[in-house]
Amino acid sequence: MVVALLLMGRIVWCELGDYTPWTPDAWSSHTSQHLFDPYTVTHLLHGIGFLWISGWILPKLSVDWRLFLVITAEAAWEVIENTSWVIQKYRENTASLDYFGDSVLNSFGDVLACAVGFGVAVKLGWWRSVILFASIEILLLVWIRDSLLLNILMLLFPIEAIERWQTIR
């Protein structure tokens, strides 16, 4: 993933001169440029969701192998997410008007968060991870007016009223 992103011309770290590992503002130019940002939390949800999906599709595969497949899928998504086509879709269909892709370290942090989400869901089990997933979705909606499920909806089926609500500050 790292090599692919570098070959695609992705920057390694924030070019704005701020080298802190975390940026708390989901609506700044620093989003997707640091190791972690508010959207990192959605990647925890990727891990939880991928545990559910992998358990449903590959129930006999060991958790270790499913984790390997989940990390591979998440890394592939990070490459796809940083293609010009997907970046443009985010800019057209979501409130991310100034989104220009992730830094390499942000993509790495997202994959790490996915792996952590997977591990947490393994420890919590099905029902507690469903409660965690729903709680995080609600927290994100209140905090940054976005969430994993809302992001997917807006990317695939943009709704103007939601986009207006997301841009209220």
53-91 pLDDT per residue, tens: 999 999 999 999 999 999 999 999 999 999 999 999 888
88 in a domain, yes or no?
Answer: yes
The burial class, CB within 10 Å (0-12 / 13-18 / 19+), for 35 is buried
Res. 17: pLDDT tops 90 = no
Locate 63 and state its tokens: 């958790």
Mean pLDDT (whole number) for 151-161: 92
28 in a domain, yes or no?
Answer: no
Res. 128: pLDDT tops 90 = yes
As a whole number, the mean pLDDT across the chain is 94
10 in a domain, yes or no?
Answer: no
Question: What pLDDT does 89 receive?
Answer: 87
Full domain range(s) for residue 145: 35-167
Question: What pLDDT does 95 receive?
Answer: 67
76 in a domain, yes or no?
Answer: yes
Of 131, 162, 156, the closest CA to residue 45 belongs to 131
115 vs 168, which has greater pLDDT? 115
Share of the chain above pLDDT 90, in %: 82
Mean pLDDT (whole number) for 39-64: 97
Taking the chain, what is the end-to-end CA distance rounded to the nearest angstrom? Answer: 34
Number of separate domains in the chain = 1
16 in a domain, yes or no?
Answer: no
43 in a domain, yes or no?
Answer: yes
Q: Does the pTM exceed 0.85?
A: yes
8 in a domain, yes or no?
Answer: no
- Phi, psi at 36, each rounded to 5°: -130, 145
111 in a domain, yes or no?
Answer: yes
| Whether the Cβ atoms of residue 3 and residue 105 lie closer than 8 Å to each other | no
Instruction: Tell me the pLDDT tens digit for each residue of 85-122.
Output: 999 988 888 766 678 899 999 999 999 999 999 999 99
Of 4, 159, 164, 47, the closest CA to residue 93 belongs to 159
Max distance between CA atoms of the chain, in angstroms, equals 48
